[in-house]
Amino acid sequence: MSKYHIQGLEEYFQVYRTSVDHPEKFWEQIADEHFSWQKRWDSVLNWDFTKPEVTWFAGAQLNITENCIDRHLATRGDKTAILFEPNDPNDPAEHITYTQLHKRVCAFANVLKDQGIQKGDRVCIYLPMIPELAISVLACARIGAIHSVVFAGFSATALSTRINDASCKMVITSDGSFRGSKTIDLKGIVDEALDQCPSIQSVLVARRTHTDIQMKEGRDHWLQPLLDKAATDCPIEVMDAEDPLFILYTSGSTGQPKGMVHTTAGYMVYSAYTFKNVFQYQEDDVYWCTADIGWITGHSYIVYGPLLNGATTVMYEGVPAYPDWGRFWQIVAQHKITQFYTAPTAIRALAKENLDFVEAYDLSSLKVLGTVGEPINEEAWHWYNDNIGKKQSPIVDTWWQTETGGIMISPIPFATPTIPTFATLPLPGIQPALMDEHGKEIHGNQVEGRLCIKFPWPSMARTIWGNHQRYKETYFSAFAKMYFTGDGALRDATGYYRITGRVDDVIIVSGHNLGTAPIEDAVNEHPAVAESAIVGFPHDIKGNALYGYVILKETGETRNHNNLRKEINQVITEKIGPIAKLDKIQFTTGLPKTRSGKIMRRILRKIASKDTSNLGDTSTLLNPEVVEEIIENALV
């Protein structure tokens, strides 16, 4: 029985059992059979969640790029590794084969070395979704430099904070970036950031937009001439299993972003294994994840997971609405995409538009649909299932985090029966626990609690860069000897998990525990509603009351707003009960969102609580301007 590729529900249960009963044997066999090692490990797993300290495959030596690239050259040299789809649909797509990828990564790695980058140095990558982004990530990994990718939509302040936190030596960027009809002056943002970054010694600049930019003598170098001179072969740096592979920042509930540190061997094994199983990738498939490589989803499921499996992975430079809302479906049809992985926020935006944008294209190549990033509401799930999957493609609702490195709870398509809004079952090796407010595990089914993981898995982040104490406090202190996710979840009668949202989104109204996600689901079922966000605000009698921010489908909705408010509360009463009725409903044209599409409830909570004095840093929002509008029209 192949443990690497699960192909049915029975097999899943069997494999899962083995992974819990004999975790070391389980992961050892996968590591042995599916990867190239320079030296085998001395021990599979060492762990102590009280310190916390975790190592996987300690003593082993390897290079992840040998596994992503070199190992495929003999059998898949001419196969497309990266399929680049540019912003402008009139520009041709670029097919980069495994052989070409090898040459380009090696040349880039040699340029890094020429610029003085060595094993262990931190390199900040601030690039749009162009091939150089994936190539520079892999070039760092090839020479053992630690990459820190910063999403190229972040501001100069956010960029300099991240560069300084890890004392990066180099920034890799481009002259500009294309996003739909807009051109963004990336190099200008880098220049502004670098005024505050003493550790940076050099900047490599890829040419993309041909924007007129400043090049600082002695610091800035055009990338292409250096690549042209570089040798196209570069030996791998031999890395220890627990050497850091990358740092990726995730925002905390307060202050400084957290630089999550992922290490080499465990991350490799887990990202590869989960990619294969969650997407059921087959040799000739063309897989597309619409995330940006600036997020963990892009790291694990655009770059590493797919390439480790010798897959063809699509990188799309543009946005969903350019040149029109049919672009995603045009790309699916053009490249005969087989697996499509996106976020609920994108699905909701697409669902708002005319179905003609979908129906104009042949989507019959699709086999598996995925979602990630937030709970998917029932309406969006059905829209996705009906109109994109034509009820033929299973939807994998994948729950995981920057900190977990890979997908943790997800259906296995064609094996696990799916139910809307349920991420379903833990993947092999993942041991979830639901905890009550007294710190005790809640056993049995049909229960709800705080979601923890009680046993290590290979791709868990090992620390927060430069602050192990914060790592311990954030993830290993709320519950003894458990990793605490910060999310709430319920386990239904069959053992399926439904993620109910961040625990800080739980609102206690008159002593009732209410998750915001199911209330938002109910509100969204009202035919006039496009999207909503619910927060709590202090209430004299109930303790907390509910405040809803609602976006209507038609901005010019003619019905009386007070009638609409009544109707929305009627839906909530029907779906959840009168206890969940909203005290206040504010209609708005937008909701403050992070760049990865998560609603910033922290800001909405403050506004609802009449506390707008200190909204914190809103500069990293996708749409900071909407905050003003919401404050102006607040019902306080």
Strand partners, 250: 258
Measured from the CB of residue 567, what is the shortest distance to ligand 7RM in angstroms? 27
Token representation of residue 253: 């509930």
Contacts of 242 (CB under 8 A, 6+ apart): 55, 56, 57, 58, 263, 264, 265, 462
What's the CA gap between 107 and 111, in Å, rounded? Answer: 6
Q: Which residue is nearest to ligand 7RM (CB)?
A: 402
* 144 contributes a contact to ligand 7RM by CB under 6 A: no
Residue 427 contacts ligand 7RM per CB under 6 A = no
- Is the CB of 281 or the CB of 483 nearer to ligand 7RM? 483
Stretch that binds ligand 7RM, among 60-68, 179-187, 314-322, 370-378 (CB under 6 A): 370-378
Q: How many CA atoms lie within 13 A of 52 on its CB side?
A: 24
Strands of the sheet with 497-502, listed across from one edge: 432-435, 447-453, 483-491, 497-502
x/- site string to ligand 7RM, residues 553 to 592, per CB under 6 A? Answer: ----------------------------------------
Q: How far apart are CA 42 and CA 11, in angstroms?
A: 30
Residue 487 DSSP code: E
Among 232, 250, 467, 474, binds ligand 7RM (CB under 6 A): 250
Residue nearer to ligand 7RM on the CB measure, 372 or 482: 372
Question: Tokens 């789809």 label which residue?
Answer: 85
Q: Which amino acid is at 517?
A: A
Q: Which is nearer to ligand 7RM, 128 or 405 (CB)?
A: 405
Work out whether 398 is an interface residue with ligand 7RM (CB under 6 A): yes
Amino acid at 450: R
Q: Does 340 help bind ligand 7RM (rule: CB under 6 A)?
A: no
Nearer to ligand 7RM by Cβ, of 160 and 485: the residue is 485
CB of 505 to ligand 7RM, least distance (A): 9
Please state, in angstroms and rounded to a whole number, the distance separating the CA atoms of residues 490 and 434.
Answer: 8
Nearer to ligand 7RM, 272 or 552 (CB): 272
Our finding on whether 400 is near ligand 7RM (CB under 6 A) is yes
3-state DSSP call for residue 190? helix
Give CA–CA dist 103/97, Å, rounded: 10
List 399, 455, 457, 483, residue binding ligand 7RM (CB under 6 A): 399
Bridge pairing between strands 507-509 and 512-514? antiparallel
**Within 462-505, where are the H helices?**
468-475
Host H or E run for residue 46: strand 43-48
Cα 125 to Cα 574: distance, rounded to the nearest angstrom: 49
Residue nearer to ligand 7RM on the CB measure, 202 or 398: 398
CB-nearer residue toward ligand 7RM: 178 or 457: 457
Q: Is 121 in the site for ligand 7RM (CB under 6 A)?
A: no
The answer to whether the beta carbons of residues 586 and 635 sit under 8 Å apart is yes
Q: Which is nearer to ligand 7RM, 499 or 522 (CB)?
A: 499
Among 397, 520, 521, 531, binds ligand 7RM (CB under 6 A): 397
Residue 380 CA from chain centroid, whole number: 19
Is position 486 an interface residue for ligand 7RM (rule: CB under 6 A)?
yes
Which of residues 171, 423, 585, 603 is near ligand 7RM by CB under 6 A? 423
Q: Shortest distance, CB of residue 372 to ligand 7RM, whole angstroms? A: 5
SS3 state of residue 334: helix
Q: Which of 125, 337, 499, 522 binds ligand 7RM (CB under 6 A)?
A: 499
Binding to ligand 7RM by residue 401, rule CB under 6 A?
Answer: yes
Considering only residues 446 to 485 of the shown chain, the ones binding ligand 7RM according to CB under 6 A are: 485
**Residues pairing with 202 in the sheet:** 170
Does the bond joining 257 to the residue before it have cis omega, within 30 degrees of 0? Answer: no
Binding site for ligand 7RM (CB under 6 A): 250, 296-297, 372-375, 397-402, 423, 485-487, 499, 502, 596
